[in-house]
Chain A
Amino acid sequence: MNAIGWPNWRRLNQEGIVFAIAILLFAAAALGLPGFLTADNLVAIVRSVSVLGILALGMAVVIIGRGIDLSAVAIMAMSVAWYLQLLNTGTSDGLAFVYVLAGVLAIGLLNGFLVAYADVPAIFVTLATGSFVFGYVRSQLITQDAVPVPGGHWVELLGGVRFLDIPVEVFVFAGLAFLVFLFLRYTKWGRFIYFAGDNPVAARNIGVPVRPMLVLRYVLSAFVALIAGLLTAASLHSINTRIVNSTLLYDIVLVAVIGGIGLSGGRGGVRNVLVGAALIGILLNAMTIIDIPLLYQNLIKAAILLGAIIVDGIINPRDEQTAQQGDI
């Protein structure tokens, strides 16, 4: 934007391009696909990306701080599965929730500690903890792949809450997005995340508590995953742990990266998540309406993600001078 407010086309960034593509795709789908431009379908689109968007918000905060959280989906599914299992086996609601909160907090802390204090690359830490969380909960704590929500429980009731015919997760997504926006834009701690993501050493030198902040981000991401898991269980009345082995994790990264949040950190914000979620939501919905099989949808999503990473690599090239050895 220049002084008068006209967009400066020469400095068109990824976010702008993706937004334009999303609008074009929306227009094309609205014109070409029957039943696309109906109120119900539009609500369905927003609803379908709500959980994805919520997870992407958590991922965005981590990525802006130059990290990544590959354990998000495992935490999301397994924490809720354990919670529901505890309820089904008769543990009181309050106690069960405290257990699960403690578990989620522990995994977030573990991720953060290993990344911040043991200097292990985030990608390996979270890959390992994700695998561990899934394996531990699946083999030790729950008995089958899918755990149903007990009848009449508040999670089930939550799934039925509607306001103006719009399901509750949409509001949760909107509310969380607004909160994360405020946090990143207007609080000191939010700005610190950008500093640390842009140049961790410089941030540390000016006195930013880089390591505690790193831990905080992974804990935040873990709690966001728990919220997303509860909403999933609310709308489906059960949680299926097989989701951990699906491509959901890559969809989250896709939403964040395609919206223009650079993987090298320090760039992007909530708006980028919204743009990315819009594009992916429209795309998935359109593909479902055209009746493309799920397997082919995966192929198309992978191709788009690959394209997004290539574009990201060109727009935010890795700085060979400051890139550390072993930064893979």
Chain B
Amino acid sequence: MNFRERLQAWRYNLVPDHLVGEILTKRWTDNAIPFLALVATLGVFGSIIPGFFKLTSLQESTRQLGEFSLVVIGMTVVMLGGGIDLAVGSIFALSCFSAVYVFFILEQSIWLALAAALCTGLVFGAINGYLVGYLRLRAFLTTLVTFIFGRALFDILVTTYAADVQLSQASSDVLDFIGDGTFWGLSISVWLAIVLAIVTHIALTRSRPGWHVLAVGGSRRSAHNAGIRVRRTVFMTYVFSGFCASIGGFLIACRLSGAGPGTGLNLEIMALTAAVVGGVSLGGGRGSVVKGLMGAIIVLTMTNGLIRLGYGTGTNQMVLGILLAVAVTIDIRWLKNRHKVLNEVYVAPVYLRMGETQSAAPGSGTSYELDNRLSVADHIGLGELEGPEDVILDRDDHLYCGTRHGEIVRFFAPDYVKSEVFAHIGGFPLGLAFDRSGNLISCVGAMGLYSVSPERDVKRLSAETARSWTSIVDDARLRDPNDCDIAPDGRIYFTDSTKRYDAHDWALDSIENRATGRLLVYDPKDGSTKTLLDGYRYTNGVCMAHDGKSLFFAESWACRVHRYWLEGPKAGTAECVIRDMPGYPDNINRASDGNYWMAWLGMRTPSFDLSLRHPDMRKRMTRRLPQDEWLFPNINTGGVVKFNEKGGIVDAMGDLTGGAHPMVTSMREHKGFLFVGGILNNRIGRYRIAGADPNWTSPASYWGAKP
């Protein structure tokens, strides 16, 4: 290994590039930017304003924060539904006035004043909702106009009644308490905001109406097609926003004991900025109440902080303008480019130097030498099948295989002409095995481990294992369960090939070559799934040894076969029994002569082996070239290899014509025949094995003669 290669190996195997992509797949990264902004804002203003964090100071500023947060919660819900409500400032002001009018001028009870405020907000919200929801007007302009209308009305009312309010003698302890009192150290407005935030959060994340709002915001047309009443949902968001703003208005009426020309001024742009800065997306569907609240704290801290620092008129508008422009731009660019960035950085290849191998070319004289024997195999289901990854035969000689369409197809003995869909599972059924009582166990790609009873009842056995503490990507989920086999005690040993890619992205996994394959075990006694081994390059076929005391499993991208001991002195450990094969191993199954069959899904090429030593080149390749032009393992040629208990190669056969079985992912010996399947093939092959035991069957080998 020269110095350049050593550097490359360090660079690509030690620097965890893949974590960047994994972090970006997380939904919480959406929250990270506003959260950091919040911390920075509080940090900066807290350190330059003396006494910022003092309790009395906080009580005073949180009182305002409570009112503002209420308005922002309403705005957030409207924005989640795909709209916008600029009328909140007017609703706030008018509700405030309603409460003041009822309490101070009509001298009614405070509760009637509250009812008046709520009524005002609901009616105003309903008007907005009707115009935007039912008449489908543009939300921005429409609410802008109703905002002007409401503001004009408020200005008229305030100038008309200002003097009367001043002269009013009405007073109430309840009003003073709501306005100035605290409850457990927090003002009433903060308590109300907290309660409403929790209720709204639960409603949005866990209730049908909330989901409808998010669905409408996410995609109006799809929501409509799904049967959601889009117009009514939009209508309700505006009513809710009116409701929230009216509570805010009532609170400020209590706090200030009156209404003035400045009430609710610039509130709409502040609330809008808060929601957007918090990360609630314009256009709907993305965001949460928590984000809205984070934005509310940021905006209010900034604007109030600047006033307390003594900056003059206009500074607020300047800061709001900058905040809004930056936040909106980041929001739009982030949404637009997130998946592009993700595609760019997710594939993070590592360095691997494959060992020297023996040739498999005909005439090379090695034990791996391939020939054309498989090309003469009879075909079963030619043209009817798509992707029989694994094949298996039951005690009655019927033949089963999985297909690309998520079905398990059964061909009837003895001629295997007639077929039926045995069971529909979904996903992509890959590895198959029969347990002692004749249930068909299958590893279903992208879904998990499933069992199909002889009565065709499909049951999920396992879809997850324990989550490891250090993994960022969710490694509890089984992404690519590949093959399984069953121990004499009934435990099912199976492989999950990769943690980072879905089953159909196996080519990306081979290019990245990161060792994330696992060997797992499912215990039918308690239904638990455990991870036994981790860190292999695409674990694939599993086969129980003839004595049932160990198992073989294939590590495809490293071209190795390992033996995992279940009993004996080496129990729980794995050792490599075959290394540096010229082909990529797939499924492994028992042979009648005490040896094992192994499928090769493809053959190593010098070019791809070389590229594994150049992770930088593979990285560039996945970023700059179209997928069709990528270099990845050759799967145009494969074969079937027989090996013995010690790992010695006994036999190898193939189809170098490429006509019938160019690549092989599975083979099953049954009564002197070898049944051959391939994940990219359109048939199952049946090949007569010279000199094989004509009575040997796999179920009998596993579970004994027919009971």
Chain-B contact segment, one of A48-56, A155-163, A228-236, A317-325: A317-325
Across the interface, do B82 and A326 meet the contact criterion of CB distance under 8 Å? yes
Across the two chains, which residue of chain A brings its CB closest to B149? A302
Give B350 Cβ to nearest chain A Cβ, in Å: 36
Across the two chains, which residue of chain B brings its CB closest to A321? B221
Give A295 Cβ to nearest chain B Cβ, in Å: 5
Q: Decide yes or no: A295 and B136 within 8 Å by CB, A135-B319, A309-B145, A328-B84 being known contacts.
A: no
Of the candidates A119, A132, A326, which one forms a contact with B325 in the assembled complex, judged by CB atoms under 8 Å apart?
A132
Q: Decide yes or no: A135 and B321 within 8 Å by CB, A120-B328, A325-B220, A326-B82 being known contacts.
A: yes
Q: Decide yes or no: A139 and B283 within 8 Å by CB, A250-B144, A310-B137 being known contacts.
A: no
Across the interface, do A328 and B136 meet the contact criterion of CB distance under 8 Å? no
Across the interface, do A306 and B149 meet the contact criterion of CB distance under 8 Å? yes
Chain-A contact segment, one of B101-109, B248-256, B309-317, B432-440: B309-317
**Cβ of B131 under 8 Å from chain A:** yes
User: Chain B contact residues: over half helix, strand or loop, or mixed?
Assistant: helix
Across the two chains, which residue of chain B brings its CB closest to A114? B329
**Cβ of B282 under 8 Å from chain A:** yes
Residues of B within 8 A of A309 (CB): 137-138, 141-142, 145
**Cβ of A180 under 8 Å from chain B:** no
Within 132-169 of A, Cβ neighbours of B (below 8 Å) are at 132-140, 145
Of the candidates A120, A131, A140, A318, which one forms a contact with B332 in the assembled complex, judged by CB atoms under 8 Å apart?
A120
Across the interface, do A128 and B220 meet the contact criterion of CB distance under 8 Å? no
**Cβ of B666 under 8 Å from chain A:** no
Within 304-336 of B, Cβ neighbours of A (below 8 Å) are at 311-322, 324-325, 328-329, 332-333, 336
Across the interface, do B328 and A128 meet the contact criterion of CB distance under 8 Å? yes
Contact-residue size bin, chain B (C-beta under 8 Å from the other chain): 35 or more
**Cβ of B2 under 8 Å from chain A:** no
Q: Decide yes or no: A313 and B318 within 8 Å by CB, A121-B282, A250-B144, A302-B149 being known contacts.
A: no
Across the two chains, which residue of chain B brings its CB closest to A264? B138
Chain-A contact segment, one of B153-161, B579-587, B669-677, B695-703: B153-161
**Cβ of A206 under 8 Å from chain B:** no
Across the interface, do A131 and B156 meet the contact criterion of CB distance under 8 Å? no
Of the candidates B148, B155, B321, B336, which one forms a contact with A132 in the assembled complex, judged by CB atoms under 8 Å apart?
B321
Bound-complex Cα distance A237 to B276 (A): 40
User: Chain A contact residues: over half helix, strand or loop, or mixed?
Assistant: helix
Across the interface, do A139 and B324 meet the contact criterion of CB distance under 8 Å? no
Residues of B within 8 A of A302 (CB): 145-146, 148-149, 152
**Cβ of B269 under 8 Å from chain A:** yes
Bound-complex Cα distance A306 to B281 (A): 27
Bound-complex Cα distance A254 to B140 (A): 15
Of the candidates B131, B220, B318, which one forms a contact with A139 in the assembled complex, judged by CB atoms under 8 Å apart?
B318
Bound-complex Cα distance A21 to B84 (A): 32
Give B320 Cβ to nearest chain A Cβ, in Å: 5
**How would residues 294 to 311 of chain A score, 1 for a CB under 8 Å from any chain B CB and 0 otherwise?**
011011011101100110
Residues of B within 8 A of A121 (CB): 282, 328, 332
Across the interface, do A325 and B219 meet the contact criterion of CB distance under 8 Å? yes
Residues of A within 8 A of B311 (CB): 139
Give B351 Cβ to nearest chain A Cβ, in Å: 39
Bound-complex Cα distance A138 to B220 (A): 41
Across the interface, do B145 and A305 meet the contact criterion of CB distance under 8 Å? yes
Within 271-327 of B, Cβ neighbours of A (below 8 Å) are at 272, 276, 281-284, 311-322, 324-325
Bound-complex Cα distance A131 to B269 (A): 9
Of the candidates B131, B314, B328, B329, which one forms a contact with A136 in the assembled complex, judged by CB atoms under 8 Å apart?
B314
Across the interface, do B325 and A125 meet the contact criterion of CB distance under 8 Å? yes
**Cβ of B135 under 8 Å from chain A:** yes
Across the interface, do B320 and A131 meet the contact criterion of CB distance under 8 Å? yes
Q: How many contacts between A and B, using CB within 8 angstroms?
A: 151
Bound-complex Cα distance A128 to B282 (A): 14
Across the interface, do B138 and A135 meet the contact criterion of CB distance under 8 Å? no
Residues of A within 8 A of B316 (CB): 135
Bound-complex Cα distance A68 to B141 (A): 10
Across the interface, do A139 and B136 meet the contact criterion of CB distance under 8 Å? no
Of the candidates A134, A139, A145, A313, which one forms a contact with B137 in the assembled complex, judged by CB atoms under 8 Å apart?
A313
Residues of B within 8 A of A313 (CB): 135-138
**Cβ of A130 under 8 Å from chain B:** yes
Give A292 Cβ to nearest chain B Cβ, in Å: 11
Residues of A within 8 A of B153 (CB): 299
Q: Decide yes or no: A120 and B329 within 8 Å by CB, A310-B131, A325-B283 being known contacts.
A: yes
**Cβ of A270 under 8 Å from chain B:** no
Residues of B within 8 A of A306 (CB): 131, 142, 145-146, 149
Bound-complex Cα distance A200 to B99 (A): 48
Within 104-139 of A, Cβ neighbours of B (below 8 Å) are at 114, 118-121, 123-125, 127-139
Give B525 Cβ to nearest chain A Cβ, in Å: 51
Across the interface, do B283 and A326 meet the contact criterion of CB distance under 8 Å? yes
Q: Decide yes or no: A263 and B138 within 8 Å by CB, A135-B314, A137-B314, A139-B315 being known contacts.
A: yes
Of the candidates A119, A305, A320, which one forms a contact with B336 in the assembled complex, judged by CB atoms under 8 Å apart?
A119
Residues of A within 8 A of B135 (CB): 310, 313-314
Residue from A114, A137, A263, A299 with most neighbouring chain B CB atoms (10 Å): A299
**Cβ of A247 under 8 Å from chain B:** yes
Within 273-310 of A, Cβ neighbours of B (below 8 Å) are at 295-296, 298-299, 301-303, 305-306, 309-310
**Cβ of A253 under 8 Å from chain B:** yes
**Cβ of B83 under 8 Å from chain A:** yes
Across the interface, do A128 and B325 meet the contact criterion of CB distance under 8 Å? yes
Give A259 Cβ to nearest chain B Cβ, in Å: 15
Of the candidates B131, B276, B313, which one forms a contact with A138 in the assembled complex, judged by CB atoms under 8 Å apart?
B313
**8 A-B contact pairs sorted by A residue (CB < 8 Å):** A130-B321, A132-B317, A134-B318, A135-B318, A247-B148, A325-B283, A325-B284, A327-B283
For the complex of A and B, the 9 pairs showing the least CB-CB separation, nearest first, are A326-B283, A135-B318, A132-B321, A138-B314, A135-B317, A131-B321, A139-B314, A128-B325, A302-B149
Contacts A306-B145, A313-B136, A313-B137 supplied; 11 other A-B pairs, CB < 8 Å: A118-B333, A121-B328, A128-B321, A132-B317, A132-B321, A135-B321, A298-B152, A299-B156, A302-B152, A309-B145, A310-B135
